[in-house]
Amino acid sequence: MATTTTAAAAAPGGFEPEPLLTPAEVATMFRVDPKTVTRWAKAGRLSSIRTLGGHRRYREMEVRELLTGR
């Protein structure tokens, strides 16, 4: 496997899996409580993807942009 630096492909169909972050990871990045991140998602300030069990996952790209000040 020639995984250079941008290793992202996980599906053989040329399908690109999107990098996601857990609530705890986002909370750490913003230096807030995970509950606060959940509130942001509920308020629509932050888009979230749900696991089949109901847990939230956040787009790394979106979080990075918000951290960078957009």
**Which parts of this chain interact with its own copies (CB under 8 A)?**
10-13, 15, 17-22, 24-25, 28-32, 36, 40, 45-46, 49-53, 57, 60, 64, 66-67, 69
Whether the Cβ atoms of residue 51 and residue 45 lie closer than 8 Å to each other: no
User: Both tokens of residue 33?
Assistant: 């409580």
Q: Report the distance separating Cα 25 and Cα 56, nearest Å.
A: 12
Q: By C-beta, is 4 or 13 nearer to its own copies?
A: 13
Write out the binding residues for DNA, residues 4-63 only, by CB under 7 A: 22-25, 27, 31-42, 51-56
What is residue 19's DSSP assignment?
Answer: P
**What residues line the site for DNA (CB under 7 A)?**
22-25, 27, 31-42, 51-56
